[in-house]
Amino acid sequence: MTIRIGDTAPDFDCETTEGPLNFYAYLGSAWGLLFSHPKDFTPVCTTELGQVSRLKEEWAKRGVKVIGLSVDPVEFHRRWAQDIEQTQKVKLNFPVIADHDQYVSNLYGMIHPNSGLGNFTVRDVFVIGPDKKVKLTLTYPASTGRNFSEILRVIDSLQLTDKFKVATPSDWRQGEDVIIEPAVSDQEAKQMYPKGWRAEKEYLRYVRQEDLKEATS
């Protein structure tokens, strides 16, 4: 099964390092970040789990619930958590799914036949909105650690564009100018953004992010 942007994220029950849980119940009305690892005790993934744990306050600030996945059993995960704490100097602070039967991996298409990993999951990322729709999918090679600062940046963009009729330009960062969607006419834009906007082309109109808040007040 291939999960694409806009698809409904499949629900599932699973065993995790924090006990049994239902995915939808765990997410509640929050945003979700589901990310997979080929197996426990792998070097790149050890650094990633440590980094995600360090970013606990950043996920909370954005209302994001994080959950990891590996095909190894819970007892392996708990031993791995000790290694993570020892080497990364931070405690694992989110659940990791023990997908030993590969049910979730297959449900989300995490086992790619040409990855060279056999029956292990590839390193996928899924960002899921409060509506349980998939907003982002990423697949990383085994040799390249994930950039979670970039994933946070994308979540900032997704949350902003989910609320307003805007898009974010290349390399956009929180607080920078955004782009008015082409579907919004100039007449609509005048009502939405009375302070105006900067037009470089008729289809490329920039508005200050701070004016988005004023437009809804």
Helix H or strand E encompassing 125? strand 123-128
CA nearest neighbour of 71 among 110, 44, 32: 110
Sheet of strand 198-201: strand arrangement? 166-167, 178-180, 204-207, 198-201
In the set 3, 9, 34, 45, the catalytic residue is 45
Contact 97, 70 (CB under 8 A): yes
The pair of structure tokens assigned to 152 is 């946070």
Q: Which residues pair with 178 in a beta bridge?
A: 207
Q: 45 an active-site residue?
A: yes
CA-CA distance, 58 to 46, in Å (whole number)?
20
148-163 and 43-54 helices, crossing angle to 10°: 50
128, 30 contact by CB (below 8 A): no
C-alpha 152/C-alpha 156 separation (Å) is 6
Catalytic residues: 45
